[in-house]
Structure 1
Amino acid sequence: MLPTAPTRQALRHLRRICSSGQLATRTHPQHSTSQSIQPICGAAARIRVCQQRSISTTRRSLQEAHSSSSTRSTGATSSAASIPDITNFYTLFPKTLTSGPPPSGSFHIPLGPLKREFLQLQSQHHPDKYTSQPTAHQKSLALSSLLNTAYKTLSDPLLRARYLLQHNYDVDITSEDNSTHRDLTDHETLMEVMEAQEAIEEAQTQEHIDALKEVNHARIEQTVKLLGDAFEKGDVEAAKTECIRLNYWNSLQQGLHEWEPGKEVRLIH
């Protein structure tokens, strides 16, 4: 389920934020796995750095705007809708996520209520409402971008797991300058991934691909359940392992959707 696309103004705002600092250039680590498993990481790394900086800058901007608005009594400033709690992605949606993130709350999120609250907040804080009020307009642009990112992250189990590991435990599972994947990907998982990859590449009919989709969908459901159990128990090591496994299964599912006879399967991790 995809979030509402950001406006051009929001995109320009994010580009300005991202251009404020140089993106780090990273070199992908060496892996002992089959060369046929080829990560697509360069652009993804730059996007992640940009997103992290934009989220941080957006949060600071909102905090400054909120502080400023609390000390003013002018009609233009007070007319803007009050800013929601921006402590973390969960506090942005207090009606849906009343218990907060795990382990206090559940890893599972009801997507229907989350979407309704997201749309309500976006409507309430839409930048077009404040085009004549520069301060309120800038604040609503920043909040709209943050809401989009938070909704997209929480709606996807893999992105949600990565966020929780980063936010709760300061673990960046997407880091490409360490051996996280190599250390946490056990031999059994690696063999299962390679066998599934080969099965896709050797498939000759759509019926065969549809059968493989069902098998992989079951893998995804089981891994999401184990991932939720790990977060709700506070088991960080298990959460990291299942997060990496889910990333492989999602990548395989993408390969199944893009299947063509004889086409190489490229996994993103």
Structure 2
Amino acid sequence: PALALSARRLQSTTTSLSSTCPSCGRPLPTRLPSCTNCWTIGDVSPSERCHDILSVPSGPNPFRVDTKELRRNFLKAQQTCHPDMWSARGEKERQLAERLSSRVNDAYKTLQEPIPRAQYLLEAQGMGIQEEEPPLEDLEALSEVMETMEEIDTSPDKATLENIKHHNDARMNETIADLEGAFEVPDYSKAKSELIRLIYWDRIDKGIK
């Protein structure tokens, strides 16, 4: 029995997400293969979606994410697979915990903000943005970006910058709403165009800060 338990604890095969532990059959705190009842931990398939890793709905619109729920689920997931919890269980378990914790961190960073979330969803459709500075084909928007960046560089006074930020925040919120609508359809070409637009508004936001 001791040897059998030891073998289960060293489980390193890739497992699918489940609500019960494959070793002891007890309910898992999350859908991750990390059981603090029998101290068995496993890998997660590279193909598992970020939404599933953090137990947030991916439908009907995968872009629409409750960020408060996402944060709660992230913290709960890290409580079960943080490497510090597994360091006393053996080197192999600690390494598995590091990999699993890293996957959880990556999933959270991907879904937390609109830009990486949209990029992730477009990459799944083979339509991700590869360029560091993607071309903004909307000439009117491009002109607005250039004028705004020049205004930031030449108008250091606080009141002007606050006004620019207020206007830019409105543009960002409008574009995020358009992004959500595009993924709802889904219209991935429109989603890609809106993402590029959002990337430029985000650069303005960072330029103000």
TM-score (norm 1): 0.61
Q: Is the 8 A contact 1:65 1:139 kept in 2?
A: no
Q: 1:1-269, aligned counterparts within 5 Å?
A: 64-66=13-15, 78-81=38-41, 87-94=48-55, 97-98=56-57, 100=58, 104-131=60-87, 132-167=89-124, 169-175=125-131, 181-182=134-135, 185-257=137-209
How far is 1:197 from its partner?
1.1
Count of residues in correspondence between the two structures: 182
Q: Is the 8 A contact 1:65 1:135 kept in 2?
A: no
How far is 1:82 from its partner?
6.4
Identity of aligned residues (%): 32
Q: Is the 8 A contact 1:197 1:252 kept in 2?
A: yes
> 5+ unaligned residues in a row in structure 2: which ranges?
1-10, 24-35
Separation (CA, whole Å) in 2 of partners of 1:175 and 1:256: 23
Opposite residue 84 of structure 2, the aligned amino acid is D
How far is 1:70 from its partner?
6.2
> 5+ unaligned residues in a row in structure 1: which ranges?
1-61, 258-269
Cα-to-partner distance string for 1:191-230 (whole Å, 9 max, x where unaligned): 1111111221221411110111000000100000001100
* CA 134–63 in structure 1, closer or farther in 2 if over 3 Å, else same: closer
Separation (CA, whole Å) in 1 of partners of 2:189 and 2:183: 10
Secondary structure at 1:90 match in 2: helix
Opposite residue 137 of structure 2, the aligned amino acid is T
Opposite residue 68 of structure 2, the aligned amino acid is G
How far is 1:80 from its partner?
2.4
Separation (CA, whole Å) in 2 of partners of 1:251 and 1:90: 27
Opposite residue 117 of structure 2, the aligned amino acid is R
Separation (CA, whole Å) in 2 of partners of 1:245 and 1:173: 12
Q: Is the 8 A contact 1:81 1:124 kept in 2?
A: no
How far is 1:181 from its partner?
2.7
Cα-to-partner distance string for 1:92-138 (whole Å, 9 max, x where unaligned): 122xx23x15xx33522111111111001001111112213222221
Deviates more, 1:245-254 or 1:107-116: 107-116
Secondary structure at 2:52 match in 1: coil
Larger RCO, structure (CA 8 Å, separation 6 or more): 1
Opposite residue 203 of structure 1, the aligned amino acid is S
* CA 236–123 in structure 1, closer or farther in 2 if over 3 Å, else same: same
